[in-house]
Amino acid sequence: GTAHYLVFSEDMEEERREAAIHHLRLRQAILAGEIIPYYQPLVDLRSRRLIGLEVLARWRHPERGILPPSEFIDAAERAGLIGLMFESILRQASQDAARWPDGLKIAVNMSPLQLQDATLSGTVLDILSQTGLSPLRLELEVTETGIVHDLGTAKRVLAMLRTAGIRVALDDFGTGYASLRMVKELAVDRLKIDRSFVVALASAPESGRYVSAIIGLARALGLGTTAEGIEDAATMRRIAAMGCDLGQGYYFGRPRPMEGLDSWLTCAAEG
């Protein structure tokens, strides 16, 4: 009846108000520099050397401590703040990386929504020139799960980035849909094999065929491969034997803030 309707609509109102407050708070957090980069090693599986670091966002919340992306990335996408967050993360990571040993690259995550923003490549190139990081050291990771509504814009944005020397990886490969079409149309440089396939290697031997198939596909198309979620030496050896070029996972190191990178960077500098 009417009473129920009233309660319902007050709940909706309340939810909207909470969402608005949360979005406002997130915007402040981005502008105040509370969203910071953590870094996780990307390792060449043949030489076992560090070749770069993936940038993973964390919210250094003044009351709640360090929050993972699952607490704020979706909200940032819904609030239209994902571009602002990306710019802040890219700027901080480029500043950090400009001081690392020369060859090391950074891999920065991007929402597929951002491929619909025709100004993206200009923004990225401005940040790189301001921070002094070579575009050759930047790779952008896009998840294939997101729907790209306007493929034309996405292709143009990626083509401009690629012309500048920036590389693009398709993240969580094998878990989304329209994968092959995305690989072809977006002309990506690298496939990141989703952790679910890698983790399954230990328990389900047949999942080795899926990993092999993805690596074979990448080879045939001239693309690089990264296996995520490598947690032990046995998995690392199996994946390396299958011909995957790069590995990432807790076996090599968990994500750390800039202050914790010294030992990794020293090793990389010593060669």
What are the distances in angstroms from CA 122 to CA 45, 71, 118? 34, 29, 8
Minimum distance from residue 240 beta carbon to ligand C2E (Å): 15
What is the spatial distance between Cα 260 and Cα 237, in angstroms, rounded to a whole number? 27
Structure tokens at 117: 């923003």
Q: Which of residues 132-171 bind ligand C2E (CB under 6 A)?
A: 141, 143, 171
Which distant-in-sequence residues (6+ apart) come within 8 Å of 24 by Cβ?
A: none
Q: Which is nearer to Ca ion, 171 or 245 (CB)?
A: 171
> Interface with Ca ion includes 96 (CB under 5 A)?
no
**Which of 11, 20, 48, 68 is close enough to bind ligand C2E by CB under 6 A?**
68
Residues 6+ apart with CB under 8 A from 29: 35, 59, 61
Quick check: 255 binds ligand C2E (CB under 6 A)?
A: yes
Beta bridge partners of 36: 58
Among 56, 127, 218, 223, binds ligand C2E (CB under 6 A): 56
Selection from ligand C2E, Ca ion, none that 231 binds (CB < 5 to 8 A by kind) is ligand C2E
The set of residues, in sequence order, having a beta carbon less than 8 Å from that of 217 and lying 6+ positions away, is 191
Of the residues 141, 179, 182, 235, which one makes contact with Ca ion according to CB under 5 A = 141
Q: Which of 172, 235, 246, 264 binds Ca ion (CB under 5 A)?
A: 172
**What's the min distance (Å) between Cβ of 8 and ligand C2E?**
33
10 vs 74, which CB is nearer to Ca ion?
74
Residue 21's contacts (CB-CB under 8 Å, 6 or more residues apart) are none
DSSP code, position 157: H
Residue 234: Cβ within 10 Å count: 12
Q: Does 139 bind Ca ion (CB under 5 A)?
A: no
Residue 111: CB minimum distance to Ca ion, A? 11
231 binds ligand C2E (CB under 6 A): yes
What CA–CA distance (Å, rounded) separates 37 from 59? 9
| Sites of contact with ligand C2E (CB under 6 A) | 40, 56-57, 68-69, 73, 82, 89, 109-111, 141, 143, 171-172, 228-231, 248-250, 255
